[in-house]
Amino acid sequence: MKSPLRCGAFLLAGLVACGSDEATGASNGPDDTPSGSSLPGTATPGGREPAPGTPSAPGEPWVPPTTNGPPATCAAVTGSFGGLSMMACVPAGGAGKSGKPAPLVVALHGFTQAAEAYKDTTQWDVLAGRYGFYVIYPGAPGARSWTWFSGDRARGQGDEVGIVAMVDQMKKDHDIRTDMVFVTGLSAGGYETVVMLADYPDVFAAGASVAGGPYGCTTACMSAGKGDAATVKSAFPTWWNDASTRKPRLLVVQGDKDNIVSPTNLAETVKQWVAATGTDPAPANAKLGIAQDIKGYPYAVYSKDGSTPMVASLTVTGMAHGTPVDPGNGVDEGGQTGSYAMSTKVYSPYYIAKFFGLIP
């Protein structure tokens, strides 16, 4: 059954402190019928469908395990990560070099929010265990903000170096699908998500920004986000200006009652990413046969090739600043309310994972 439906401004986004599927089978898994009716446009890297139970190679769609696994096992990893901490979550059978390459999700907490708290509320480790992928939770010292708004926001600088080093560490320790490395985050982590996509499009295939804003923002963006495509393309021009390279996809999630990061950031981020990726600015829901809502929340997709959602947005009406979760046992339910996680009709990590192509 589903559960029924802030410190002061600027807290999670990192300005000032204030006084703020379908894997079916095992009986111990979630209900096998999704309680929602909409599919948020998944993407497969292309190629034929592998036979069940065989490792999926780069360029092929991801095929998760056919039975529900327990939550991925999470533990601290030591290494040189630019002063950041690293927690890695490994699904059953994924320890060491398993010979079965699997995707990787980087999950970035918000300002003043510890990585452990972000793990507990988002439960990416539960999804990772169920669908057979890896997760890492980077941690900023003292739960400070990521360097999304500072002069360190550039390829080869700031927190970006440590985050990419963690991805490299996972590739060293495990068999990672290099074409299926993703990044997501809340608030400051949402802003940092678009930073990682813009500065490292060669590393990340897609991202999901929750309560974040456009690339190139200063802290002023929190009240009125503004972004342009040229800023994104200048982040790593040899990649962005090459028509033959893969451009990272982006899902933007925002509560329309957010009083910390202005909801206008959703439209500005979509506009920036649509232009940067050369995507048609007209919503493509009808063309792609995708519903215009997820459980009643407005959902828009934008396509570049007429078949794959390149950019998407989900507006969670009535929600303030935080991660939308939907505690429950249904296949599309999960998460816990708590530190900047709010009970809604959608469990956003599940739908983010579907956008990434991690869930059928």
What total of structural domains would you count in the chain?
Answer: 1
In a domain, 174, yes or no: yes
Exposed/middle/buried for residue 75 (C-beta within 10 Å: 0-12, 13-18, 19+):
exposed
Is 285 part of a structural domain of the chain? yes
In a domain, 20, yes or no: no
pLDDT digits (tens, 9 = 90+) for 91-137: 999 999 989 999 999 999 998 889 999 999 999 999 999 999 999 99
Domain of residue 197 covers 73-356
Q: Which residues, at least 6 apart from 82, have a Cβ–Cβ distance to it below 8 Å?
A: 158, 159, 161, 162, 165
CB 101 within 8 A of CB 3: no
Does some domain include residue 338?
yes
Residue 1 lies in a domain: no
| Residue 22 maps to a domain | no
Q: What angle do CA 267, 253, 348 make, to 5 degrees?
A: 165
Query: Which pLDDT score is estimated for 22?
Result: 29
Q: Which of 187, 303, 339, 348 is catalytic?
A: 187
Task: Give the gyration radius of the chain's Cα atoms.
Answer: 18
CATH number at residue 163: 3.40.50.1820
pTM metric for this prediction:
0.85
**What tens digit of pLDDT does each residue of 58-78 get?**
778 899 987 789 999 999 999
With 0-12 CB in 10 A as exposed, 13-18 as middle and 19+ as buried, what is 206?
buried
**Does 329 map to a domain?**
yes
DSSP sequence for 89-110: EE-TT-SS--SS-EEEEEEEPP
DSSP state of 72: P
pLDDT of residue 151: 64
The answer to the question of residue 55 being in a domain is no
| pLDDT per residue as tens digits for the range 90-104 | 999 999 998 999 999
- Active-site annotation holds for 187: yes
Instruction: State the DSSP string of 196-242.
Output: HHHH-TTT-SEEEEES---TT--GGGGTS----HHHHHTTSHHHHT-
Cα–Cα dist 144/121, whole Å = 18
